Structure 1
């Protein structure tokens, strides 16, 4: 059985449809530090040696747990890119892939991962375009530059502000999955859409555009 994070990343290949202006405005492959360097390192496995470590048994206090203080994201904006879109909480589809909103003008937040602003990598992903609907909300992600501001609004109306530190076009099979879906480490906002050449036989793009941002003071 695959862990949820590893299965979820497969859904990033689902930005199907027809290529729009991508091939006419192909972005530079990277900006800033490498994505893998910008993302939190995955937690090391418990134990070491030839045999796999046995996961520790988790115990819970009988007392009720305190209600979480972090609220789900509901909107994302990046003024310099012209991005301003609603955010929908998404999970994993029946085929084991990360769900994405059918409406390309919306962005999906992977609800089984971190909330933006908490420890780990909060993942927001969306379609780059669609044959009928046209360019998606994250289509401009290909032009993200180091220093661009991204603002996330949560359900309580609170804002978290982020600064882009990395943008990279990565072949889907080479995505650093464990880092993209890290649940611990420094807070990071990871934005993903499709990119690279369109492959008609798969009705999808070959690559993903991955943008990583860190919180601003």
Structure 2
């Protein structure tokens, strides 16, 4: 896949040096990221087709409400260590950070179960959109995000972080979009609060192109954060 053309951008006034540096790179590379996320579906489909194989059972991460200590939001930067989405039975600590390759495309998770956080996006719980991507299936195994299209408004997603905190998000909506009309600004553009995006491939699998025709995008916003006592 050829490296896409970059587009110049300008950081908003008042942004922190770290955030300005991220914004300067991210918007110019949104097309690269979108294409790379689409490549997740291409790679998955090429290797394993569009089956829906059984996954391992969920593993508990969330704490009962009585055991949670609330922490102020927004949260500082931190990598992710796990994700829980109870409404679709997703619970995993198989996570990784994703960055850009030398050709300006995003690296992809190395297994079906891995959830990747694009480390040039916001940390989950920071102001801005945190972007997570995962496979729908891979090498005959069901992908971590195979069921995100079933989520509904109000469902919760908990993202566990390396600093011991958990960011709790509520789903706003779930969109299925044609890849050629991917909503780049809505997914990656700056936000005034802490938000979350979950992205995978979906729709019909095009045998000729060896690619899914659509993307599934879950939009969510931060509602709280907690840590263990």
Identify the TM-score tier after normalising by the shorter chain: 0.7 to 0.9
RMSD, aligned α-carbons = 1.8
Give how far 1:12 is off.
1.4
| 1:117-167 Cα distance to aligned partner (Å, 9 max, x none) | 11111100111112x232100111011111111000011121000111110
CA distance in 2, matches of 1:116, 1:178: 18
> 2:31 aligns to what SS in structure 1?
helix
Matching of residues 147-158 of structure 1 within 5 Å: 147-158=154-165
Q: 1:123 aligns with which of 114, 117, 131?
A: 131
User: Corresponding residue for 1:8?
Assistant: 33
Confirm whether residue 213 of structure 1 aligns to residue 223 of structure 2: no
Is the Cα–Cα contact under 8 Å of residues 114 and 183 in structure 1 kept in the other structure?
Answer: no
- 1:196-215 per-residue CA deviation (whole Å, 9 max, x = no partner) reads 00011222211000001111
Matched residue, 1:106: 114
2:183 is matched with which residue?
A: 176
Distance (Å, rounded) in 2 between the aligned partners of 1:143 and 1:71: 28
Q: Which runs of 4+ in 1 moved over 3 A?
A: none
1:166 to 173, 187, 190: 173
- In structure 2, what is the Cα distance between the partners aligned to 1:202 and 1:77? 33
Higher helix share: 2
**Which residue of 2 is the match for residue 56 of structure 1?**
none
Aligned-residue offset at 1:182 = 2.1
Q: Which runs of 5+ in 2 are unaligned?
A: 7-27, 54-74, 225-229
Structure 1 stretch displaced more, 175-184 or 137-146? 175-184
Higher relative contact order (CA 8 A, sep 6+): 1
Q: How far is the alpha carbon of 1:71 from its aligned partner? A: 0.8
Partner of 1:186: 193
* 1:20 counterpart residue number: 51
Q: Aligned pair count?
A: 171
Which stretches in structure 1 are left out of the alignment for 5+ residues?
23-67
User: 1:174 and 1:164 mapped to 2: Cα distance?
Assistant: 22
Q: Deviations over 1:21-46 (max 9, x none)?
A: 49xxxxxxxxxxxxxxxxxxxxxxxx
Residue 192 of structure 1: SS of its match in structure 2?
Answer: strand
